């Protein structure tokens, strides 16, 4: 979103490779959104072997980038395809875009691409009403059916939301038009089958596996890449550490603990963590995040947000996360968000406070601040076993060439 360098954070719904494998690659752009609120979830139910690239067919889409905190890419809906920019969000499971039929006073509609059902020869009306509540706003509309184009995949039949009413002003300034959820079916409002499930069910994708590579240079147009059907080993430094999903709706895993330098331990007895591409920051319980910022010299700026003195970055301690018995380390260069402000810089902490209800918390969210340093591979597995998330250190752009 086009926002000042303060963390206005978009929240999720409160309701609610073997050789020859084809990998679909969707380049990503950057945009700015953030943390979310979660709800109790149902279980999913043997993960497949890690997919490797044999001789895949690579399909790409041109990119651009906005800021260095959130990422989005292009899809098409209808016949011929109408193009939309969407956030590929592992923290939700519905696909929606603004509608040509949106209400007159729904201002975000007038600033974004809108779906025109009359311009699509493959459109099928559904008419079921849907509503999604976000932490900084909400939207509602009707469900419709049409063809999805994503990367090199065409002709996938999906049910998606046409947003008729977006009362939140935050959507006006968003650089993306809508959201494509990559969470589990348990999260989908109105029981809609998520897009990933539809691609697999229709034989357009071999495996319900996907991965993200997020770049970090705000001066670069390339925001990274979403790979559908597996992962690209040139994106990361092996091996992948796989951690089982404990609550398959959001991509929730168990985290053993968090270490700040050598003097502070958080999540001391283990805690739940969500791996979430739709969250800009790393968030945690407010009491622990306050302790973390005392250790790194963070200055409280807004509720749950902190400022860092740019001159201190090289002296700040690392912050490390123990997942699957492996330590994943972030330096201050990784966890401090540096934003150009005229001739100066503004440095914001990549850690934010978010307290969950007792039924859910305490809970950490590993958002884009973490995922720029570690490539996530999301493996849905199958109905006889459990899903898992693989993590490995991201390669720098130069090392990939």
Task: Give pLDDT, residue 4.
Answer: 28
The two tokens of residue 35 are 């943390």
Question: Please, what is the end-to-end C-alpha distance for the chain in angstroms?
Answer: 31
Question: pLDDT tens digits, residue range 84-137?
Answer: 999 899 989 999 999 999 988 888 888 889 999 999 999 999 999 999 875 556
Which candidate, 65, 11, 64, places its Cα nearest to that of 33? 11
Residue 213 neighbours by CB under 8 Å, 6+ apart? 224, 225, 227, 232, 235, 236, 375, 394
Full set of structural domains in the chain with CATH: 24-32+55-211 (2.40.70.10), 233-395 (2.40.70.10)
- Give, for 29, the enclosing helix (H) or strand (E): strand 29-30
Q: How far apart are CA 65 and CA 78, in angstroms?
A: 26
Determine phi and psi for 322, rounding to 5 degrees. Answer: -95, 110
Task: Give pLDDT, residue 358.
Answer: 79
Per residue of the chain (401 residues), give pLDDT as tens: 222 233 333 333 333 333 445 788 888 876 544 444 443 332 233 333 333 333 333 332 222 334 445 688 999 999 999 999 998 999 899 999 999 999 888 888 888 899 999 999 999 999 999 998 755 567 899 999 999 999 888 999 999 999 998 877 777 777 889 999 999 999 999 999 999 999 999 999 888 999 999 987 666 667 889 999 888 899 999 999 999 999 998 999 999 999 999 989 999 999 999 999 888 899 999 999 999 999 999 999 877 789 999 999 999 999 999 999 999 999 999 999 988 777 788 899 999 998 888 777 789 999 999 999 999 999 998 765 689 999 999 998 666 55
Task: Give pLDDT, residue 70.
Answer: 63
Task: Give pLDDT, residue 345.
Answer: 85
Listing DSSP states for 313-348 in one string gives: GGGSPPEEEEETTEEEEE-HHHHEEEEEETTEEEEE
- Burial of residue 331, with CB atoms counted within 10 A of its CB: 0-12 exposed, 13-18 middle, 19 or more buried: middle
Task: Give pLDDT, residue 34.
Answer: 43
List residues bridging with 115 in a β-sheet. 99
- Give, for 296, the enclosing helix (H) or strand (E): helix 286-296
Would you please indicate which residues are annotated as catalytic (active-site) residues?
89, 276
Task: Give pLDDT, residue 134.
Answer: 57
List residues bridging with 275 in a β-sheet. 366
Task: Give pLDDT, residue 39.
Answer: 37
- Paired sense of beta strands 251-255 and 124-134, if any: unpaired
Question: pLDDT tens digits, residue range 371-391?
Answer: 999 999 999 987 656 899 999
Residue 204 neighbours by CB under 8 Å, 6+ apart? 153, 155, 156
How far, rounded to the nearest angstrom, does the alpha carbon of residue 267 sit from its chain's CA centroid?
23
């Amino acid at each position: 979103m086009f926002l000042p360098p303060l963390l206005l954070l978009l929240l999720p719904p409160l309701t609610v490779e073997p050789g020859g494998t084809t990998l679909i690659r969707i380049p990503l752009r950057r945009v700015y959104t953030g943390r979310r609120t979660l709800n109790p979830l149902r279980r999913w139910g043997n993960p497949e072997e890690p997919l490797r690239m044999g001789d895949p067919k690579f399909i790409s889409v041109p990119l651009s980038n906005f800021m260095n905190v959130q990422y989005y890419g292009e899809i098409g809906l209808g016949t011929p395809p109408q193009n939309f920019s969407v956030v590929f969000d592992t923290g939700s499971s519905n696909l929606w875009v603004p509608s040509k039929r949106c209400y007159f006073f729904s201002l975000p509609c007038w600033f974004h691409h809108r779906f025109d059902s009359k311009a699509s020869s493959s459109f099928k009306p559904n008419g079921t009403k849907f509503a999604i509540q976000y932490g900084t706003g909400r939207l509602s509309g009707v469900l419709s059916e049409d063809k999805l184009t994503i990367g090199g995949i065409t002709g996938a039949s999906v049910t998606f939301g046409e947003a008729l009413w977006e009362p939140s002003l935050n959507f006006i300034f968003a650089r993306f038009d809508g959201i494509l959820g990559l969470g589990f079916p348990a999260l989908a409002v109105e029981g809609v089958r998520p897009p990933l499930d539809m691609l697999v069910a229709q034989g357009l994708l071999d495996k319900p596996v996907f991965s993200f590579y997020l770049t970090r240079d705000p001066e670069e147009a390339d925001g990274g890449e979403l790979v559908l059907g597996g992962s690209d080993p040139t994106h990361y430094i092996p091996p992948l550490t796989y951690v089982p999903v404990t609550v398959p709706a959001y991509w929730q895993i168990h985290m053993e603990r968090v270490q700040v330098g050598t003097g502070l331990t958080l999540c001391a007895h283990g805690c739940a963590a969500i791996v979430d591409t739709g969250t800009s920051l790393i968030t945690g319980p407010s009491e622990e995040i306050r302790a973390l910022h005392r250790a790194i010299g963070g200055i409280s700026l807004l509720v749950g947000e902190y400022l860092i003195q740019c001159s201190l970055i090289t002296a700040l301690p690392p912050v490390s996360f123990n997942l699957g018995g492996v330590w994943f380390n972030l330096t201050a260069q990784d966890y401090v968000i540096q934003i150009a402000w005229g001739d100066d810089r503004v440095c914001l902490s990549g850690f934010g406070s978010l307290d969950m209800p007792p039924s859910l918390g305490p809970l950490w969210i590993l958002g884009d601040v973490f995922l720029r340093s570690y490539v996530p591979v999301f493996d849905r597995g199958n109905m006889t076993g459990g899903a898992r998330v693989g993590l490995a250190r991201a390669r720098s752009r130069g090392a990939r060439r």
